[in-house]
Amino acid sequence: MVFSSNIFLFAFLPIFLSIYYLCPNKKRSWVILIGSYIFYAWWRVDFLLLFIAVTLWNYFIGRGISNSGPQSVRARRWVAVGVGVNLSALAYFKYANFGVATVNTAMTELGLDPWLLTAVILPIGISFYIFQAISYIIDVYRGDTPATESLVDFAAFIALFPQLIAGPVLRYKDVADQFSQRTHTVDKFSQGAQRFMLGFIKKVVIADTLAPIVNQGFALQDPSFFDAWLAVLAYTAQLYFDFSGYADMAIGLGLMMGFRFMENFTHPYISQSITEFWRRWHISLSSWLRDYLYIPLGGNRRGEIITYRNLFLTMLLGGLWHGANWTFLVWGAWHGSVLALEKALGVDTSGERFSPLRWLLCLLLVMLGWVVFRAENLTQALTIYAALIPRAATEIYQLSPVYAGQITSLQLWALALSWLVIVLRGFYQRQQDSQRAQGDVMLKPTALAPFAYTALIMPLFVLAIFKLSAESYSAFLYFQF
């Protein structure tokens, strides 16, 4: 089940919320747990057993660490076993096919018979809930949070359906208090509903409209210069509106249930460095990688060379986390290399002073990375990269006839609108941040602002529902990770 489906909008969500609010506070964790399990089992019932096993395993590992004493030798052994099993499960389900295929390619080259392995199905959301489980047991070991005694609350945390499939990556220490005590108000519910509608519009109206431009552009065998850049621009916008749209819906659903989740995006395409970009893009993942990988590797405490190595390795493994494909490793290596280079050159990554050239350079670096991130394989990525450089003056302003015949004017207008929103909304936010940093008195929104916002968002939400109903189904891009 996905948020952008009629079954979720008109059946699951209203039934769930009705039961949730009819139940007393003490029973609402049970409602969350059962509802989340139904939500997950809608995809495949059998993988719900894996989900439950991961939950039970990490709950008892957390209890073992707590009973041993935070940061004790015995607790360290509990952590090693707990993290090891978590990573083993992730490695098997996510990387077994990739590993065997890589080995078989080498064996075939050597004239040996390849291994036979039944294809392993990737459980939806496994990357997210495994990372959440790992952060929990590490935080218990560090003494950052006590081990929970409530199995129901912990299971509800791991299974929490609004962010189960594609984040944000929650940490138990950040929401533990909310499980025991959180407020439910009309104002919070209204904020959540509007945030959900905004994300739904971003996903269905913009991202899904851009999808054909991306899919057809990357599938071209011999794209022209303009073909390639159009496809890259479309994917850059599509991925942002798709993924940030999911995050908006997750945060909105959380508010409707009384939870406050961390923001996952803060206008990343206005960044002036890759370092700043990762403070704005998929914030929950980048902060997770920083706290549970980069800092344990040594961070920037062991000299410049080690710092560069740690930046590179963190992003390389972050790329591998996204999927079992050489394209993701290259993407991670690309970002890790640029981060290390910025560190070595002493680039100002604060983002306080705006420079159009630095902004455009950062955006170019991000888009070049998205090429290999989106490509099905390295060959397809190289095809797009080669086309990004003009081969003849006549093709700069021309789409190839095949590509031009596959896209519509509506899709092109959606692309133009998406970039207009990205730039205008992003730089408005940058201006607001600058004024706040300087201590300027900012104008408070008028009483009419919420009504104007609602008046704008409601018809767009209805339009999105009609569009979704016509297309019947709309999966999120990050489901594959």
Rounded (10°) CA dihedral 371, 291, 317, 367: 10
**Residue 320 one-letter amino acid:** L
Token pair recorded at residue 130: 């495994």
Do you find a cis peptide bond into 401, omega within 30 degrees of 0?
no
**Residue 442 one-letter amino acid:** M
3-state secondary structure of 449: helix
**Residue 23 one-letter amino acid:** C
Token pair recorded at residue 236: 């850059």
Among the listed residues 267, 282, 322, 335, the single catalytic one is 322
The answer to whether the CB of 61 falls within 8 A of the CB of 137 is: yes
Buried b (16+ CB within 10 A) or exposed e, 57-89: bbbebbbbbbebebeeeebeebbeebbebbeeb
Token pair recorded at residue 170: 């929650």
The answer to whether the CB of 154 falls within 8 A of the CB of 56 is: no
CB atoms within 10 A of CB 416: 12
- Helix, strand, coil shares of the chain, percent, nearest 5, are 75, 0, 25
Query: What distances in angstroms separate CA 440 from CA 267, 351, 353, 447, one per listed residue?
Result: 21, 18, 16, 21
**Residue 307 one-letter amino acid:** T
**φ and ψ at 406, to 5 degrees?**
-100, -20
**Euclidean distance between CA atoms 46 and 460, whole angstroms:** 38
Alpha helices, H only, 290-325? 295-297, 304-322
The answer to whether the CB of 336 falls within 8 A of the CB of 312 is: yes
Catalogue the long-range contacts made by 336-339 (C-beta closer than 8 Å, 24 or more residues apart): 336/311, 336/312, 337/312, 338/274, 338/365, 339/274, 339/275, 339/278, 339/311, 339/312, 339/315
Token pair recorded at residue 108: 């075939």
**Euclidean distance between CA atoms 27 and 35, whole angstroms:** 12
Q: What is the DSSP string of 166-224?
A: T-----HHHHHHHHHS----HHHHHHHHHHHHHHHHIIIIIIHHHHHHHHHHHH-SS--
- 322 catalytic, yes or no? yes
Q: Hey, which residues are catalytic here? A: 322
